[in-house]
Structure 1
């Protein structure tokens, strides 16, 4: 990583449009820092950069090419998910809670067991940094509850008219899909054209996600940051899921 910029507390990120891959041997890695400095996470997202690293690593900042995104209008609500949504809507003990359980959702994402993955990138430093964004109104959680117990959910980041999906989890089959379906429906209501998913996975492919060139993502981002129909605080409940039926 000899060509990668090591950032101090006052250093700016390299622009991924101008410096897409400082070290071609590590594609998508834009910069490295010893820690997440105050204000750094917000600046990163507005430049299309995000952190992804493990406890035993420095903070690694990424802007991959291609970039995985989900356009809400392309969300695939398969018949099996529609069946789950119908059951969810009629189950009085189940509901959606927006921005009421942020810390619990992030902790659940951090501790969820995932296939072919040991450990988690959601370190204590990451939890603190995203909680700070939440307190500023730029990070959000969607919790799926049954009898007041969280059974699934997701958290994301929002700047302007751009949503950045971060992580999902399920303690009950399909709960995270219901949370994502709710977010996608809410995005359509607020003219949000793209949810950033960062990196491609088969799970996201199955739900309508697709990779796009980095330059296309970054161009859209700069437009979306200046266009927003989103009111703070976020407000919606499970009735929004009727959008898919």
Structure 2
């Protein structure tokens, strides 16, 4: 199965069904806001190591969460009842994405959140498309996550925690806020036990693409979530 090379001067992608069995769809292109937004609208995301060409992925199956399916474990409930952490939105995007890039991952030698990726998503944040969730213990940032909001789908990218269950606290808070705003789906990209424990499940690519086809008919509503959206 061929892997497509993307020229920088053409804003396009092959159809996601052309991806290899492991989900690799294309190589090359750039990380411009226009290309990233086009990619996410089709469920395509970049994932590559520093020094390598940009790799674009669309795995099958997809790992997703319907907000109504969110599960909050008994062990997490005291964190909310006691207000152990404080959550904000879009107040420290750069700090969150840099913390995500610095957290060691199992079976991962180096981070995939390269400096070019950080700059690209910071630009998307400036344009009102990329958003962060910050989890604070007093005045210390102890957890968070970031992703892209398009229509009624939130495309999660990465999360980090420097205190017990801080990333779960942020994710649960985000899903509740998304549900209140009418969001219909959270894209978690690939399966993890961490997200499965909170209700995420696999979805066939064909079904996921149908969700995105409908979502592309909705207007983009960029903005800063710190302004009171959540």
TM-score, normalisation: structure 1: 0.86
Find 2:53's aligned residue among 51, 58, 62: 58
Determine the structure 1 residue equivalent to 2:146: 155
1:211 positional shift: 0.7
Determine the structure 2 residue equivalent to 1:206: 197
Determine the structure 2 residue equivalent to 1:122: 113
Find 2:43's aligned residue among 40, 48, 52: 48
Q: In 2 relative to 1, CA 62–229 (structure 1 residues): closer, same or farther, beyond 3 Å?
A: closer
1:228 positional shift: 6.6
Determine the structure 2 residue equivalent to 1:197: 188
Q: In 2 relative to 1, CA 186–229 (structure 1 residues): closer, same or farther, beyond 3 Å?
A: farther
State the superposition RMSD in angstroms. Answer: 2.1
1:225 positional shift: 3.3
1:188 and 1:66 mapped to 2: Cα distance? 23
Determine the structure 2 residue equivalent to 1:232: 223
TM-score, normalisation: structure 2: 0.91
Find 2:94's aligned residue among 103, 115, 118: 103
SS of the aligned residue for 1:39 comes to helix
Count of paired positions: 228
Q: Indicate if the aligned counterparts of 2:150 and 2:221 stay in contact, CA closer than 8 A.
A: no
1:10 and 1:184 mapped to 2: Cα distance? 37
Find 2:18's aligned residue among 9, 21, 28: 21
Moved more, 208-217 or 222-231: 222-231
Q: In 2 relative to 1, CA 157–124 (structure 1 residues): closer, same or farther, beyond 3 Å?
A: same
SS of the aligned residue for 1:120 comes to coil
Moved more, 218-227 or 196-205: 218-227
Determine the structure 2 residue equivalent to 1:6: 5
Find 2:173's aligned residue among 166, 178, 182: 182
Determine the structure 2 residue equivalent to 1:216: 207
2:130 and 2:189 mapped to 1: Cα distance? 16
